[in-house]
Chains A and B, each alone.
Chain A
């Protein structure tokens, strides 16, 4: 099969299309023909060596496709089933071999592109709005990078719950997208300091929750824009790692809460994974959650997809088609 291989860590150019054998599935594994693979920032972290994995490797963790072979102990899926996944290494390829545990069924109305685009960003937005902090109608949420992959979906989910959403974005064009997704107020942080603006928009009271995938660049100010007993949910650090933190700060800023979350812990059991994906697919099928697919690339153009992702100019999900 054709697959993108990384022989040494580095820039987008280290990803090369190569011919590699399809691994034999173990008894509880299945082989899936990849229809669409999702491109995520974490793929870039593995590619450039920030996150480590033995070389060589096939990048990619997210996709959708059709089961083509099953191990003798596989029980939940059969050949021909449409499935989607996140957290399966080696998705930038024509075939991926996976434990059946992490595969979820894709219902009829959901396309392969939609399923692949929704797994990481959609499930992340879902656990953030419903579990990491259980948003309630009438609460105010600050969503950073509101026109980003998770952001656009999180804004929609927060609005569907009945929360007020303040979004931050880097450009007027992205502000427009965040507004279309339902943001009640949008701050273009390149033009305006978000801290005083959030305070102004909340009459000095602050927000109930901050959803932050940015990390270092927003951290200190985040602590100043929450109401007493507010919650800061950090789900990513795209601007770099937050420095070690003195917990006394949480006391000084008003008995704040902080969590550093990751999707795997919100899909840790099979039941939760299935419940969350079916809730997500249901929202998509009913038109209550609009996915924005930015661009699809042939598998061989994975380097260009990473360049576009890292230039931060693209809006919407980037997908590879093997």
Chain B
């Protein structure tokens, strides 16, 4: 089979198309023929070596497709089932062997491509808005990078809950997308200071929660936009990691909360993974959550997909189609 392999860490050019044997299912695994593989920032972190895996390895952590073989101990899925998964390296390929307990069923009304596009970003938006800080009707959330992959989904979910959403974006084009997703207010951070603007929009009170995947350039100011006892949810660092900070800032700025969540801890139990993916798939099937699949690349063009994602010109989900 064809796959995108990394023999050494580096730029997009470090990714090579290689020919590998189709994996065999171990006892508790299923082999899935991929219909689509999601492209995510975490793939770039692994490619660059910021996150480590033993070399060489096949990139990619998100996929959907059809079960083509199952191991001897597998009962939860059978050949022909449509399934999706996240969090296991190896989805940039034509086939992947996946532990059966990490697979979730794709219901009717959700396509393979939608499933691949929704697993990481959709479930991330879901745990952020429903569990990390369970948003309530009438609360206000500040969502950074609101036209980004997670951002557009998070804005929709927050809006559907009945929360007021203040969004930050970099361009007018992205502002339009954020508004279409349901943002009540959109701040072009390239033109106005989001701290001052958020304070103004909340009558000086501040927001209940900040969802921040930008990190280094937004964290400190974000703390200043929170109400008393508000929560900073730092779930990524696209501008670079947040440097160590003095905890006294949290008490001085109003007994604030900080959390640094990751999807893995919100899908750790099989029941939670199934419940969360079902909730997201239901939203998609019901038309309440619109995915924006912006680009589909042939597997061999993974390098270009990474360049486009890193260039920050994209606003929706990128998929590789094997």
- What CA separation (Å) do A131 and B246 show in the bound complex? 23
Question: Min CB distance, B193 to chain A, in Å?
Answer: 23
The interface residues of chain A lying within 8 Å CB-to-CB of B264 are: 255
State whether A248 touches B260 (Cβ < 8 A).
Answer: yes
Is A246 among interface residues, defined by CB-CB distance under 8 A?
yes
State whether B258 touches A247 (Cβ < 8 A).
Answer: yes
Question: Min CB distance, A289 to chain B, in Å?
Answer: 23
Contact partner of B255 (CB less than 8 A), chosen from A132, A228, A249, is A132
Contact partner of A259 (CB less than 8 A), chosen from B244, B246, B257, is B257
- What CA separation (Å) do A134 and B261 show in the bound complex? 20
Interface size on A, residues (CB 8 A): 28
State whether B244 touches A260 (Cβ < 8 A).
Answer: no
Question: Min CB distance, A186 to chain B, in Å?
Answer: 27
State whether B260 touches A266 (Cβ < 8 A).
Answer: no
Please report which residues of chain A, range 241-262, place their CB below 8 angstroms from some CB of chain B when the two chains form the complex.
241-251, 254-262
Is B250 among interface residues, defined by CB-CB distance under 8 A?
yes
The interface residues of chain A lying within 8 Å CB-to-CB of B49 are: none
Known: A244-B245, A247-B245. A255 touches B254 (CB 8 A): no
The interface residues of chain A lying within 8 Å CB-to-CB of B256 are: 259-260
Chain A, interface SS category: mixed
Residues of B at the A interface (CB closer than 8 Å) are 131-132, 219, 228-229, 231, 234, 241-251, 254-262, 264-266, 268
Known: A248-B260, A251-B261. A241 touches B255 (CB 8 A): no
Chain A residue at smallest Cβ distance from B237: A248
- What CA separation (Å) do A54 and B261 show in the bound complex? 43
Chain B residue at smallest Cβ distance from A243: B244
State whether A242 touches B228 (Cβ < 8 A).
Answer: no
- What CA separation (Å) do A294 and B190 show in the bound complex? 59
Chain B residue at smallest Cβ distance from A259: B257
Contact partner of A257 (CB less than 8 A), chosen from B247, B257, B262, is B257
- What are 7 A-to-B residue pairs whose CB atoms are below 8 Å? A234-B247, A250-B258, A251-B260, A255-B262, A257-B257, A259-B256, A260-B250
Greatest chain A CB density within 10 A among B132, B242, B249, B260 is at B260
- What CA separation (Å) do A258 and B259 show in the bound complex? 6
- What CA separation (Å) do A229 and B251 show in the bound complex? 21
Is A265 among interface residues, defined by CB-CB distance under 8 A?
yes
- What CA separation (Å) do A251 and B257 show in the bound complex? 14
Is A268 among interface residues, defined by CB-CB distance under 8 A?
yes
Contact partner of B234 (CB less than 8 A), chosen from A234, A247, A254, is A247
State whether B265 touches A254 (Cβ < 8 A).
Answer: yes
- What CA separation (Å) do A266 and B257 show in the bound complex? 13
Contact partner of B261 (CB less than 8 A), chosen from A244, A255, A260, A268, is A255
